[in-house]
Structure 1
Amino acid sequence: MERLVVVSNRTADLGGKTLSGGLAVGIVDALKSSGGMWMGWNGDIVDKSRSMDARVETYDNVASLTMPLTKEEHNNYYLGFANKVLWPTFHYRLDLMDYRTEFARSYARVNGKFADILHPHLRDDDLVWVHDYHLIPLASELRAKGCNHKIGFFLHIPFPPSDIFSAIPRHQWLRECLLQFDLIGFQTQNDADNFCRYLKGNSDVKFLSPDRIRWHDRTIKIGHFPIGIDVDQFAAMAQETDEEIQLERKRRSLLKRFQVISADRLDYSKGLPQRMKAFRKFLDTSPEYRGHAEYLQVASPSREDVTAYSDIRGELEQLSGAVNGKHADINWAPIQYINQSISRERLALLFRCSLIGLITPLRDGMNLVAKEYIAAQDDEDPGILILSRFAGAAEELGDALIVNPYDVNEVAQAIKKAATMPMDERKARHRNLFSQISTNNADLWQRRYVAALRSVEPNVQRAQLSSHAKWRKEPGLGTMSNSRH
């Protein structure tokens, strides 16, 4: 059987006892089943002389291939092009895009560096699975080296409509890089449709079927593969005992209080200020819940070197202080705001004792937190999920209360509906939601994707057609030759 080679910006801790995140949980079992390799940045930032240092470690039949970045690469490839150009654009925030030519050059060079390090480790029959927006040019770089492997790409974040994607300078280069993959996977049907609509504006692309295209001498498959979670693992964590949380739950029960919980990275795409405003509106319009409803917002730090993220943190601190200043009394504060990371084990327990899960991103590829909230619930006393219509998970989780996250009145009304929902309805909704996440779990996601990649038609590559090689030769950008180190 072919070996699976996974490439992502960062790798999982293959030596750890517990894996976190949909990517890690969904892939490690696939790697272990047939043997494989996971390649990515190791988190180290080094001087230029050590930039090509690579380390290989083996865990049973799985190899970990990691490398460092230089400070320039971290600033321009990771913080720059990946997170100041692609991330905001793919989340429909053109106002936050900060494009600079040096960002694009570094992004291309680092993808070339990934290819330089990976290529000698590839076997002839390897399946290569590349993950996310950091590595869009990787297949192009590997093709330029004569790599004829089946290479798949999976985008974990949304793919925007064509007019938004086209606003990225050199978007045609990104398009040609994507078309060097054999399989291009998205989280939702809407994302796949957006990509196909963008391709239809290009005369050199021919659609053979709704999910297969022909570009020059290549046939490429396009599909959507919604990612899931390890439901059993998260449900088990939610049933562990934590004395502090149990005491707090008893206190709220005695005082007839309930908790609304949100947990996300501190990111402008998550709609965290809008959630606080919606909870404030709920208290303003339903005064009977003052003293009884508590909102816990967990916002773990993220990309603190990017100005837009520090701005969000300041806004949340101001909002939580204003709401508490207006509504709190001597033994009750409506909002508890935590700007630090909380372990998944503890988060699972907090989800289980929260009546309402408020998960309302402004735009999200999937949002696994919504699925984790469902997995954590007690079948006999389940909580209610309020979910943004703009999260990818909304395509699957129709029994949640689906809301427009921009409409604070609608979200406030959903909080009240959840707070007053009869137990029979809560149980029925939870039954359906739990069945959905149990069926479309992390294991099914990776099996569907790998099977689709294995079944694609082989494409014989011609290195001279490398889109990246052509981009290096275009005037005004300088030389981007293979001597990048």
Structure 2
Amino acid sequence: MSRGRRYGLVMAVDRLPAADPDDSRDQLGAALAALRPLVAAQSGAWAAAGGESSGDGVLGVHPPVRAGAAALGASLLRSLCHHQPGDFPGGWFDSYLAVNRRVAAAVAASASASATVWTHGHQLQLLPRVLRRMRPDLTVVMHLHTTFPPAESFARLPEHRALLSGLLGADVIALPHQRAVDNLLDLADRVHGLPVREGRITLGHRGVRVVAYPLPADIAGARRLAGLAPVRAGGGRIRAAMRVSGTVLLSVAGWDPADAVEQRLHAFERFLATHRPAPGEVALLHVACGDPRTPAEDAQRQRVDRLIAKINGTHASVGQAVVHYVRAEPDRRDLTALYLACDGILVTPSHHGTVAAAHEFIAARGELGASVVVSELTSGVADLPGALAVNPHDTGAFADAIASAAGRHGPAPRARHADTPPALDSWAEHLMTLVRARGAAVPATPERRTRRLSTGAHTRHTRPGGYEVGGPPLAARRVSGR
């Protein structure tokens, strides 16, 4: 990176994405990696909270001494957004704020006049506000791919005022679905008394536009990878190693309890107890991705380990497991090979999420056909005609859906796409157009006074380290076709 260079677009993210989307370890990483050509075409730069070394198009950000505490805080915030309790350690906010300040300083020093800053990730929720105070000329979009919790859950966090103030420093906040949007608007309106109208939050002379804008599934990428000979060979090897003559169902998840892995396993155990398939007739392949990042996730790993051992101890035979358990971090090629090796997939989070993995599974399988069980609590279930939608907390209904996907009630239903999601590049370009229009600015409504995000009408609430919070900005059913 040349000294003194200025950028019209800066991507501020939790971590730098892989140079090749196929090397990514999750959907988010693949999406951000797919944006690299867009950023390069606009001569943009990247800034990462993880403190990756600077280079061509990468801004140098030196992480603070306790950067690990900030990363833990971000993981706990993600868990909170997934309706999971989080025990935040003392002092986490100081390190969290320090990371945001350092990223903001790097961006402010390198962004050109009136540049656009795309901020992404829970580790940078304070960045829009910090950056606005440094560079009010910048246009900022805050993008979170995970849901936003109900106001009652978020407001329990002592630092909720600071976090909301940080978010509202943006011009546009993009969330994954309308329920998340409604939750954020409710927090601003009912808890903090900010004027809210038609998806906009008014703060003094300006407004913040809040939109539902989920990451699309990479259908084109899944189809492309499924056609590669090495990937198809990898899928064949996986299938041969399991030695299953019938149906293999796939489960891929991290350690977040909201992924409902335990519910999947309990439902599969109920299916085995009810239908008693012979070992080798039906199997579940569960791939646990990454390492636990919070105490709740570590406890989840221990429960999953015990539950899988119990199921195999009860229903497996010598040399033939019924639950094949792998801890791995598959890249996009490995994941597509898993798709090709399996007949169906369970995409059943216990919270309001998305079904991108189901779309990619269907795309990769192509003419092979795909059985899909999804949570009825997720977004976009109607976009998957032929999928089996269940409440993941209803073990009996979930087990019955697994039986249908395994062909125990007749031919297994095949899921398909109702519509083709947009390509990642066009998705990103549309969001950039929305941001640059700066349609967030609206006049303050005369009938309602903006409340300061503070502890009292005349109190300026300050977090340790001088971060000012107060003051203006702040039963199974088949999915039918359309």
User: Which TM class, normalised by the smaller chain length?
Assistant: 0.7 to 0.9
Q: Which of the numbers 116, 123, 143 marks the counterpart of 2:132?
A: 143
The structure-2 alpha-carbon separation of the partners of 1:67 and 1:394, relative to structure 1 and needing over 3 Å to count, comes to farther
Task: Give how far 1:263 is off.
Answer: 1.1
- Aligned residue in 2 for 1:448: 430
* Preserved contact between residue 8 and residue 130 of structure 1 (Cα < 8 Å): yes
Partner residue, 1:222: 210
Matched, 1:386 2:394: no
CA contact (8 A) 1:157 1:366 kept: no
Per the TM alignment, residue 142 of structure 1 is displaced from its structure 2 partner at its CA by: 1.1
Q: Equivalent residue of 2:466, what SS?
A: coil
Q: Distance in 1 between matches of 2:200 and 2:122?
A: 21
Question: Does residue 1:407 correspond to 2:415, yes or no?
Answer: no
Task: Indicate the residue corresponding to 2:448 in structure 1.
Answer: none
Instruction: Give, as a single letter, the amino acid of the residue that structure 1 aligns with 2:226.
Output: A
Distance in 2, matches of 1:256 and 1:237, equals 25
Residue aligning to 2:290: 301
Q: CA deviation at 1:88?
A: 2.3
Is 1:376 aligned to 2:364, yes or no? yes
Alignment partner of 1:205: what SS?
Answer: coil
SS in 1 for 2:174: strand
Q: 1:175 aligns with which of 144, 164, 175?
A: 164
Question: Cα–Cα, structure 1 residues 237 and 466, in superposed 2: closer, same or farther, change >3 Å?
Answer: farther
Partner of 2:328, secondary structure, is coil
User: Residue 93 of structure 1 corresponds to which residue in structure 2?
Assistant: 84
The answer to whether structure 1 residue 121 and structure 2 residue 104 are counterparts is no
CA contact (8 A) 2:349 2:375 kept: yes
Kindly state the Cα deviation for residue 393 of structure 1 after the two structures are TM-superposed: 4.7
Other-structure match for 2:347: 359
CA contact (8 A) 1:229 1:372 kept: yes
Per-residue deviation, 1:392: 3.8
Question: Out of 466, 470, 475, which is 1:480 matched to?
Answer: 466
Matched, 1:312 2:300: yes
Gapped runs of 5+ residues in structure 1?
A: 45-54
Tell me the SS of whatever aligns to 1:439: coil
- 2:35 is aligned with 1:36: no
Q: Distance in 2 between matches of 1:231 and 1:349?
A: 15
Q: How does 1:409-424 map to 2 (within 5 A)?
A: 409-420=396-407
State the TM-score, normalizing by the size of structure 1.
0.83
- Structure 2 distance, partners of 1:118, 1:195, is 26
Question: Could you give the per-residue CA deviations for residues 288-337 of structure 1, whole angstroms, max 9, x where no partner exists?
Answer: 46540011000012345x32222222212211111111111234210111
Unaligned runs of 5+ in 2: 1-6, 443-450, 469-482
Q: Is the 8 A contact 2:117 2:140 kept in 1?
A: yes
TM-score, structure 2 as length reference: 0.83
Distance 1:415 1:282 in 2: 7
Query: Cα 1:35–1:319, aligned 2, differ >3 Å: closer, same or farther?
Result: same
SS at match of 2:268: helix
| Equivalence for 1:50 | none
Query: C-alpha separation between the residues in 1 aligned to 2:326 and 2:284?
Result: 11
CA distance in 2, matches of 1:18, 1:296: 22
Could you tell me the percent identity over the aligned residues?
22
Q: Deviations over 1:62-117 (max 9, x none)?
A: x122434244122x2111x2223x122211113xx113451122212211111112
- Looking at structure 1, the residues matched to 328 and 412 of structure 2 have their Cα atoms a distance apart, in angstroms, of 36
Match of 1:339, SS state, is strand
Is the 2:161–2:453 Cα contact (8 Å) retained in structure 1? no
Measured at CA, do residues 299 and 68 of structure 1 come closer, stay the same or move farther in structure 2, by a change above 3 Å? farther
Task: Say what the alpha-carbon RMSD is for the aligned residues.
Answer: 3.0
| Letter of the 1:276 counterpart | L
1-side partners of 2:20 and 2:338: how far apart?
Answer: 27
- The count of aligned residue pairs is 445
Corresponding residue number in structure 1 for 2:325: 337
- The change in CA–CA distance for 1:466 and 1:474 in structure 2 (over 3 A counts) is closer
**Counterpart secondary structure, 1:213:** strand
Quote the Cα distance in structure 2 between the aligned partners of 1:400 and 1:25.
29
Correspondence 1:64 to 2:58: yes
Report the alpha carbon displacement of residue 56 of structure 1 after superposing the two structures with TM. Answer: 3.4
> 8 Å contact 1:188–1:395 — kept in the other structure?
no
Any conservation in 1 of the 2:8–2:113 contact (CA below 8 Å)? no
SS of the aligned residue for 1:299 comes to strand
Q: Deviations over 1:357-377 (max 9, x none)?
A: 011122364353333212211
Alignment of 1:237-256 (within 5 A): 237-241=225-229, 242-243=232-233, 245-246=235-236, 249=239, 256=245
